[in-house]
Every structure is written in structure tokens, then in C-alpha cells.
């Protein structure tokens, strides 16, 4: 048996791992995404609010979170649940008042918790005063949005070009009153701002200052790559992927995404943030090629969100695939920058839905124990799953637009259900039996209060790993990645003086016995810091045979050196 393993290891060329040393002043913290409608309802109307967040700030402290990012809380008709803003400096009454926000900020800072706001610069709501005035052609607002009379084809008026909206359908909407089309890269209720207008640029800068003056710690920039469009308004080349001119993937987005001017605006925002004494963060949301994404680092983002664990990792990933996903980020990121790991957000299927519970723990291990910023989407810490939502209950515009037959493949509602606090009414989320989206039926057993009492729960596991991440010595530990078997991927976080940690994950459906001595200088004896419940290694207090560690199917084992001080 031993010979077979030795042979198996020997023929794997990928045993050689990357080694990545965190920079001296590494930015390494835990960031939590709050979806405010679904975190905690304080006033009992069935929708989460800012007072609810204040009530539950201790959850962040207990979960070793350093910073929270709030999805939009600004005045909005809520067509896209806050990503359609009608006033950027006002709090949406559903969520509370400015006083509530100020209280939240103070209470968070008292706990050493940073607060990041969502900045949505690409578009406003069609209910914004600017847009109403623009429709009427009142200067300077007439130029705040992108207007075009369209082109005549055989006597029929057509949109200026073939651009498609990210919500599907043409990116242009006709407005009789103005006798012109306006551009909307998202829904038609979300008109794109015209960044070629100097007034628009000034307005947006004033909005950044408004919130920075209140004392917030930075911005997460929404849909960054869509800010500028090419002014020639040329047709985009066809992708060849579909014949449907209304499908998002119909065109190659060369004139509507990642334009050089979009990069160039970032340093002007960076400069504003840098005028403040305390460090302020800029994190940008871009789903683009790795090279286009990396470029945002160079233009002043602290980091661009790394969605590779969502877009590239699947239930079938091999250890080599996983290693490639992880190594590529460290290898292509500009030197001295901040890595980051994301496993879910309010637009994508929940982690557990994508890979199942046992493998989800492996992914959470990557998010929390790889160097850099680890992002937790609310509910991931308790292993929340998706709930079936009927057509009648569906509220997401993406789902509604797809119709009853297809909504299940597009609706984002299932990943936005209320947080499950305990096993009483509405999972402890609200005193109201009726909530804006139904609480997942599994709340009776899957909830924070019960998970705190269960040593094998997702939360207990999460809490343990997040605690490790918080250690200053651990943040400085060098990363080494290895493939140990077809589905067994492992990484080490090594230090010279404070000990080391070894995380071993088996993504496969079969048990596998692996040899950890491929890690240089690994001691003969190690402590078990965490092991999957059904794992045979659970009873071990220590591992004496690093050359033969049996990893059950779909398992995670985390070992530390005996001298580890994290
Ligand atoms: C946004 O709201 C603030 C506070 O109510 C108000 O002073 C401001 O005029 C509004 N801005 C716009 C553009 O409507
Ligand atoms: C507050 O957080 C910062 C950054 O994470 C850390 O350096 C500092 O030690 C913390 N202070 C307290 C009092 O916890
Ligand atoms: C205009 O009409 C002519 C004649 O009906 C037709 O051949 C042509 O394809 C049309 N052009 C466009 C752009 O629809
Ligand atoms: C995983 O593999 C199975 C079996 O080959 C296949 O049916 C499934 O579509 C794959 N899933 C993904 C997400 O690649
Ligand atoms: C669940 O949480 C709600 C809201 O905080 C609280 O009122 C209720 O007493 C809790 N129930 C249990 C059983 O802890
Ligand atoms: C992940 C994320 O924030 N996605 C948002 C991107 O922007 C569009 C339009 O503002 C939203 O609909 C998405 O929810
Ligand atoms: Ca409420
Ligand atoms: Ca735009």
C-alpha cells in the first residue's frame, strides 16, 4: 500500500507548489457582506433594516469579522432592490434614517469593525431627480445620461446600435418626451450616467466625500467595468454563441466594458479617499478576464473581487484544477497587492448549492485560510442553503423578466432569503410571520443558535477557522500549495518562529491516503486543529504518521505543528 502511494505521488508532476510570502504590510482581514433586506428585521415589517444590523453587531465580533460591507441602503424605488438609486445621499426609509446609519457606524467603530458602503456609479434609478430633469432636457442634466435619436431603417426608428443589456434585451429605451433613446446597461429603470459630462464626475465625487465625511471606511464599487462606453456607438462584434439578439452573450462587449477611460477614473477616486487620515478601502466588482481584472489593482483599487471560486471551481474540480485557480491569482496579481477570496454573493447560487455541504467546507477553508481578504456572504457562516421560491413569491426583476417557465434559472431570490438566527418565528429574523422572501424551511434545525451548541456544525467550523485567520502571526505565514492526489489538494501556511498550519482537502468521492512529507521540513508529529466529522482522524489528538494520512471522501483536515502559536 505504501509503495502504491509513493508511486502515485511520484508520477504527479504538480507536486511542486507555489510559494507566496505575504508582503510586509499585508492587508488580511475578514469582510462580511450584509444584504440588508435579509440580515435582521427590527421593526417587524418583514424586511431587514439598519436597527436590525445594530442589534446583531455582536455576531460579527463573535465570528471574527473585521469589516462589513452593506449592499445599497440608499433611497431607491427598489426595482433592483437598491441597485437602482434615486438619491445617493439619503437612506432608504425601509432601512431607517440617517440617524440610524450614524448610530450603526458609531456602534460598529466602537467594536473595531469597519463599515464599507456600496457605491453604484454606473447608473441611477429612473426616479432620480437628475433623470427626470434630463428627460425634460433641462441643462446641465440634459447631458447627465447617454441619449441618442437612434437610426432610421426603411422608415422605422431603431436603437443606435446592437448593444445588449446585462438584464437581457436592448441596452436602449425610447423616451417620447425627449424623442431619443437612453442607454441602460442594466434594467431599463437603471439609466447609465454619462461620464463624459464633467458635472456627472463632480456629482459622483461629492457623493464619495459625503459618506467619507460621515466616517465610513471605504467603498465597494458596483459594476465597475460598465462605467464608460465608446462614444462612437459602433455595433459590437457578434460572439457567435447565440442567434438571439436579446441574449446577454450575443455580442462581445468591447465597446461597453473595461474601457481605458473606466480604468482612468479610478485614480481620481483613489485620490479623494487618500485625502482622509484613516486608510480607506476601494474594492471593485468586475467579472472579467484575469488580465482585465488585475488591471484595476494598478489603477488604485485595494483589490478587485476574485470570483474564481464561484466561476471556475465546480463540484467536479480536481486537485490540480483547485491548485491552478489558487496559484493563478497569486502569480498574476501585481506585487505587493492584496489577494482576496469570495465564495458567494447576492447574484450567484449559494456555495452549498453549487458543491454540496462537505465540499463547501473545503471552499470555506480556502476563503478563510489563504492569505488576503476573506469574504463571507451573509449566511455562509452557518451553511445556509437555497429555498424553492414559487413563481408567485418571486420578486427579483431578473426572475420576473424570464417568465414562469424559466424564472428558476435566473431568479436571485433563493440566495437572498432571511438569515436564520434561531428556531422560532421566521427563524428569529422578524417578529412577523410574513417576510419579504420566505425563510428557508430548514430553519428549525439550520440556525445560528442551534449551531453554536453543536461541535460539528458549520458555524463551529467557521468560527474556529476565522479565529485562526485573525492571528497576526498567521497573517504573515508563507503559503505553499500542493497536489497530493487526483482530488486531494493541500496547502501550508508556514512561519519560522510561530509554527505552521497544514490544510488538506479531498474533493473526491473516494477516500485517499496521502503523504504530507512533500511539504519541506514538516515535523513527524502534528496536532489536529479541525477534521470533518465522519473522518477517521477525528479521535486523533495528534498525527504521528505524516507519510500516511487518510482523507475520507469530501473531507477537510487541518493540522498544526505542536509549537503553533496562533
Ligand atoms: C437627496 O436628498 C437630500 C436630503 O434629503 C437632498 O438635500 C438632496 O437635494 C437630494 N438630492 C437630489 C439630487 O435629489
Ligand atoms: C482593530 O483592528 C485593527 C485592524 O484589524 C487591529 O490592528 C487592531 O489591533 C484592532 N484593535 C482592537 C482594539 O481590537
Ligand atoms: C429595407 O427594405 C428592403 C426592401 O424591403 C430590404 O431588402 C432590406 O433588407 C431592408 N433593410 C433593413 C436594414 O431592414
Ligand atoms: C460534474 O460531473 C457530472 C458527471 O460527469 C456531470 O453530470 C455534471 O454536469 C458535472 N457538473 C459540473 C458543475 O461540472
Ligand atoms: C429567536 O430570536 C428572536 C429575535 O431575536 C427572539 O425574540 C426569540 O426569543 C428567539 N427565540 C429563541 C427560542 O431563542
Ligand atoms: C454582485 C453584485 O453586486 N451585482 C450587482 C451588479 O450590479 C447590478 C446593477 O447595479 C445589480 O443588479 C447586481 O446585483
Ligand atoms: Ca424592517
Ligand atoms: Ca456606463
Strands 30-34 and 67-70, bridge-based pairing: parallel
CA distances for 546 relative to 28, 414, 458, 535, angstroms: 29, 42, 27, 16
CB of 451 within 6 A of ligand 2: the answer is: no
Distance from residue 507's CA to the centre of ligand 4 (Å): 13
From 222, 229, 387, 413, the catalytic residue: 222
pLDDT, position 17:
67
Q: What is the pLDDT of residue 541?
A: 57
- Concerning whether 450 is annotated as a catalytic residue, the answer is no
pLDDT value of residue 544: 67
pLDDT tens by residue, 394-448:
999 989 988 999 999 999 999 999 999 999 999 999 999 999 999 999 999 999 9
pLDDT at residue 3, as a whole number: 29
Q: Return the ligand number nearest the Cα of 422.
A: 5
Q: What's the pLDDT score for residue 533? A: 75
Return the pLDDT at 524.
86
Residue 521: predicted pLDDT: 86
pLDDT at 542: 63
Look up 392 and say whether it is catalytic.
no
Within the chain, which residues score under 50 in pLDDT?
A: 1-15, 538-539
Give CA–CA dist 252/235, Å, rounded.
Answer: 10
If you compute the radius of gyration of the chain from its CA atoms, what whole number of angstroms results? Answer: 25
Minimum-distance ligand 3 atom for the alpha carbon of 153: 13
pLDDT at 7: 36
- Strands (E) in 139-210, as ranges, are 147-148, 151-153, 156-158, 172-175, 180-183
C-alpha grid cell for residue 507?
Answer: 474533493
Amino acid at each position: 500500500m505504501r509503495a502504491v502511494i509513493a508511486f502515485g505521488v511520484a508520477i504527479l508532476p504538480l507536486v511542486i507548489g507555489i510559494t507566496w510570502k505575504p508582503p510586509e504590510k499585508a492587508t488580511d482581514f475578514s469582510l462580511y457582506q450584509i444584504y440588508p433586506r435579509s440580515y435582521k428585521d427590527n421593526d417587524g415589517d418583514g424586511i431587514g433594516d439598519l436597527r436590525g444590523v445594530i442589534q446583531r453587531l455582536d455576531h460579527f465580533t463573535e465570528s471574527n469579522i473585521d469589516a462589513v460591507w452593506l449592499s445599497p441602503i440608499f433611497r431607491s424605488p427598489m426595482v433592483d432592490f437598491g441597485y437602482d438609486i434615486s438619491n445617493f445621499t439619503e437612506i432608504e426609509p425601509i432601512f431607517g434614517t440617517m440617524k440610524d446609519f450614524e448610530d450603526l457606524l458609531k456602534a460598529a467603530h466602537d467594536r473595531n469593525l469597519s463599515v464599507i458602503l456600496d457605491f453604484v456609479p454606473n447608473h441611477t434609478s429612473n426616479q432620480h431627480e437628475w433623470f427626470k430633469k434630463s428627460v425634460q432636457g433641462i441643462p446641465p442634466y440634459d447631458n447627465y445620461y447617454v441619449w441618442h435619436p437612434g437610426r432610421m431603417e426603411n422608415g422605422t426608428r431603431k436603437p443606435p446600435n446592437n448593444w445588449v443589456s446585462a438584464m437581457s434585451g436592448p441596452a436602449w429605451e425610447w423616451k417620447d418626451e425627449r424623442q431619443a433613446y437612453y442607454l441602460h446597461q442594466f434594467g431599463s429603470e437603471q439609466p447609465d450616467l454619462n461620464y463624459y459630462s464633467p458635472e456627472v464626475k463632480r456629482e459622483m465625487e461629492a457623493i464619495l466625500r459625503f459618506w467619507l465625511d460621515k466616517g465610513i471606511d471605504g467603498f465597494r464599487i458596483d459594476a465597475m467595468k460598465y462605467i464608460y462606453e465608446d462614444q462612437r456607438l459602433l455595433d459590437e462584434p457578434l460572439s457567435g454563441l447565440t442567434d438571439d439578439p436579446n441574449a446577454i452573450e450575443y455580442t462581445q462587449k468591447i465597446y461597453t466594458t473595461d474601457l481605458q477611460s473606466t480604468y482612468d477614473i479610478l485614480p481620481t477616486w483613489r485620490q479623494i479617499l487618500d485625502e482622509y487620515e484613516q486608510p480607506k478601502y476601494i474594492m471593485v466588482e468586475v467579472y472579467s478576464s484575469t488580465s482585465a481584472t488585475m488591471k484595476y489593482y494598478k489603477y488604485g483599487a485595494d483589490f478587485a473581487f476574485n470570483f474564481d471560486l464561484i466561476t471556475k471551481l465546480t463540484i467536479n474540480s480536481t486537485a490540480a484544477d483547485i491548485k491552478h485557480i489558487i496559484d493563478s491569482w497569486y502569480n498574476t496579481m501585481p506585487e505587493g497587492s492584496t489577494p482576496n477570496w469570495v465564495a458567494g454573493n447576492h447574484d450567484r447560487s449559494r456555495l452549498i448549492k453549487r458543491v454540496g455541504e462537505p465540499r463547501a467546507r473545503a471552499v470555506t477553508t480556502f476563503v478563510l485560510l489563504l492569505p488576503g481578504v476573506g469574504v463571507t456572504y451573509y449566511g455562509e457562516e452557518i451553511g445556509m442553503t437555497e429555498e424553492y421560491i414559487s413563481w408567485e413569491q418571486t420578486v427579483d426583476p431578473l426572475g420576473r423578466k424570464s417568465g414562469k417557465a424559466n424564472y428558476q434559472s435566473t431568479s436571485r431570490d433563493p440566495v437572498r432569503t432571511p438569515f436564520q438566527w434561531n428556531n422560532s418565528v421566521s427563524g428569529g429574523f422578524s417578529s412577523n410571520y410574513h417576510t419579504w422572501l420566505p425563510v428557508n424551511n430548514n430553519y428549525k434545525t439550520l440556525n445560528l443558535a442551534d449551531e453554536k451548541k453543536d461541535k460539528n456544525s458549520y458555524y463551529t467550523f467557521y468560527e474556529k477557522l476565522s479565529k485562526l485567520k485573525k492571528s497576526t502571526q498567521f497573517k504573515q505565514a508563507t503559503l505553499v500549495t500542493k497536489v497530493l492526489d487526483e482530488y486531494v489538494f493541500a496547502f501550508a501556511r508556514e512561519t519560522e518562529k510561530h509554527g505552521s498550519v497544514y490544510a488538506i482537502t479531498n474533493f473526491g468521492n473516494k477516500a485517499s491516503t496521502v503523504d504530507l512529507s512533500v511539504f519541506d521540513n514538516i515535523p513527524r508529529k502534528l496536532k489536529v486543529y479541525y477534521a470533518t466529522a465522519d473522518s477517521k482522524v477525528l479521535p486523533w489528538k495528534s498525527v504521528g504518521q505524516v507519510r500516511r494520512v487518510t482523507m475520507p471522501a469530501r473531507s477537510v483536515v487541518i493540522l498544526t505543528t505542536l509549537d503553533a502559536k496562533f
